[in-house]
Chain A
Amino acid sequence: MSEAESKMKRRTRHKRWFEFKKPISTPAVFTLGISVWVIFFGLWELSVPMGWVTELLVPGPSKVASALYELFTEKAFLNDVGISVYRIIVSFIGAALVAVPMGILMGSFRTVEAFLNPFVSAWRYLPAPSFIPILLMWFGTGDAPKLALLFIGVVWFMATIIMDHTKNVRTELIETAQTLGANRWQILKSIVIPAVLPDVMIALRQMLAVSWTYLVIAEIVASTNGIGAMMMRAKRFIHTDEIIAGIIVIGVLGLLFDYLFRVIHRLMFPYLEDHGR
């Protein structure tokens, strides 16, 4: 190799796989994102014939897929999914209806905070599942105890997060409105609420994930229907493929709701560039 050539070589930067914080191309992002799943499912599928695991305990992905298909076509799993989704939506709307106004008022007015916050904080530190026995005694075995558990599982955290976000609404915005002649009600309505709303939506999105956790707990512990109940039934008959199918359905639903929230965020706040991750 001549000297000139080697100089040329040094000058052309060859592409390396690992560069600190350098952006990569969109096709690469997709390929890499899909590869991780291909590897995951591939290893999982292989693990049974290779004898790494017992099929009874860890059925391969193809077995889980067929179990999933059967669940929907023959075992009316859609009803269970519907009931779970219904529980999430009803309890979550209930919690939001209480927590959003409460959080905004606590964040806006020190008097409201001083009155409610000690109460809210105390409830927040009580683990919601510890209420299951008493909820069962109060409400029996229908939907009510599950809705109640989901409600108390998220409402206090939601109120606290929204209070904190409301406190972060900049004082100058409020003072500007005051010097433009706004009264307290107008400030609440036209400054505080619109200013905090994007953060409220993000808080709701995050709390929804918590809601799914409590749903599964409620349905596993004491329920005859819903996704969790199906999984407990499957356990009794050692249908591990159905249990895993249930987990996957919960994951997919979680992603779906998250995506939905993101779309709503984008539609509600066209003036923002950042719609959260």
Chain B
Amino acid sequence: MNPADKIKLSVHQVGKSFRLRDGSMIDAVSDTSFSVLENEFCVLLGPSGCGKSTVLRMIAGLEEPDSGILSLDGHEIFAADRERGMVFQNYTSFDWLTVKQNVEYGMKLNGVPGRERSERADEFIDLVKLSKFKDAYPKQLSGGMKQRVAIARTLANEPALLLMDEPFGALDAETRWNMQELMISIVETTQTTVVMVTHDIEEALYLGDHIVFFSSHPGTVFEDSRPAFKAGKRFLLKEDAVSLDGYADAERHIMRLMREQGADYLTKDDN
């Protein structure tokens, strides 16, 4: 990190516990701190049950932390807001609206005048390569296309931060790969700061400028790093990133962490 970089999002000593059905409390997230720089693509990675999604939901304002402070551009986060647009793993296209109406939805809520709204919607539909399907209804689209609608809809709303909760988790391998490359070209074009949750190591290494690795039970930051092998660069083609020196080492390192932390979670769960 160099001193000129501006901190966009700060997560400071955040904790959150949930009440289980049997009445006992479980610490989902405890003493978690990290920060995301302006224009950074930050990936939250970790074994299942490590609380990464809960952290993302707290950033979105969909959950409240029990302790600690989350802030965006120096302002504390209190509730869900257009500043922090979220793309979910499950499809969230509004079935009763066409692709274009879906993309216009957020702007309409926020009072963007009709002409500008339509132009900006076209621009973002073009960005996610759905121009041919502008007037189609989501039911007619494939899973990958629905996620592209969701991404365009969120970005057209000009959020300060784009949040993504395993957005490609439900897609087949080929589509996922295309979507990852599309994400790189989107963040390069729009200069958006992104926080994305995934448990896919390859995806994290390819997309992340910054990888925050979580351990489980309780979920907390285990390792916070900016992959050195990419030297701060982004690659439009996935194979260019994968073939870099140091990629294999980074992958091995994270796989090992994943195994240790995942196994830890299993043994604790089974006792």
A177 to B153, CA, bound (A): 10
Contact, CB under 8 Å: A176 / B88: yes
Give every chain A residue within 8 A of B150 (Cβ-Cβ). 176
Q: A190-B105, A273-B139 known; A178 and B85 CB under 8 Å? A: no
Q: A180-B153, A271-B139 known; A175 and B85 CB under 8 Å? A: no
* Chain A 31-52 per-residue mask, 1 if CB under 8 angstroms from chain B, else 0: 0000000000000000000000
- Decide yes or no whether A269 CB sits under 8 A from chain B: yes
- Decide yes or no whether A27 CB sits under 8 A from chain B: no
Contact, CB under 8 Å: B96 / A179: no
Tell me the minimal C-beta distance from B106 to chain A in angstroms: 4
Contact, CB under 8 Å: B157 / A181: yes
Of B86, B92, B96, B106, the residue contacting A269 (CB under 8 A) is B96
Give every chain B residue within 8 A of A197 (Cβ-Cβ). 96
Contact, CB under 8 Å: B137 / A172: no
* Chain A 142-178 per-residue mask, 1 if CB under 8 angstroms from chain B, else 0: 0000000000000000000000000000101101111
Give every chain B residue within 8 A of A195 (Cβ-Cβ). 94-96
A175 to B90, CA, bound (A): 12
Q: A176-B150, A271-B96 known; A181 and B81 CB under 8 Å? A: yes
Contact, CB under 8 Å: B96 / A182: no
Give every chain A residue within 8 A of B138 (Cβ-Cβ). 271
Contact, CB under 8 Å: A180 / B109: yes
Tell me the minimal C-beta distance from B157 to chain A in angstroms: 5
Of B62, B90, B157, the residue contacting A180 (CB under 8 A) is B157
- Decide yes or no whether A272 CB sits under 8 A from chain B: yes
Greatest chain A CB density within 10 A among B90, B94, B153 is at B94
Q: A176-B88, A191-B94 known; A272 and B163 CB under 8 Å? A: no
- Decide yes or no whether A194 CB sits under 8 A from chain B: yes
A178 to B110, CA, bound (A): 12
Give every chain B residue within 8 A of A121 (Cβ-Cβ). none
- Decide yes or no whether A186 CB sits under 8 A from chain B: yes
A186 to B154, CA, bound (A): 17
Contact, CB under 8 Å: A180 / B94: no
Interface residues of B in 118-150 (CB under 8 A from A): 137-139, 150
Contact, CB under 8 Å: B96 / A176: no
Greatest chain B CB density within 10 A among A182, A194, A269, A273 is at A182
* Chain B 187-220 per-residue mask, 1 if CB under 8 angstroms from chain A, else 0: 0000000000000000000000000000000000
Contact, CB under 8 Å: A179 / B80: yes
Q: A181-B109, A186-B109 known; A173 and B92 CB under 8 Å? A: yes
Smallest Cβ-Cβ distance to B136: which chain A residue: A271
Smallest Cβ-Cβ distance to B105: which chain A residue: A180
Contact, CB under 8 Å: B96 / A175: no
* Chain B 45-82 per-residue mask, 1 if CB under 8 angstroms from chain A, else 0: 00000000000000011100000000000000000111
Add 11 more A-B contacts to A173-B94, A176-B88 (CB < 8 A): A172-B90, A172-B92, A175-B60, A179-B154, A180-B105, A180-B157, A181-B82, A186-B109, A191-B94, A271-B95, A271-B137
Residues of B at the A interface (CB closer than 8 Å) are: 60-62, 80-82, 84-86, 88, 90, 92, 94-96, 105-106, 109-110, 137-139, 150, 153-154, 157, 159, 163
User: Can you list 15 contacts pairing A with B, beta carbon distance less than 8 Å?
Assistant: A175-B80, A176-B88, A178-B61, A179-B60, A179-B62, A179-B80, A179-B159, A180-B82, A180-B109, A180-B110, A181-B106, A181-B157, A271-B138, A272-B139, A273-B139
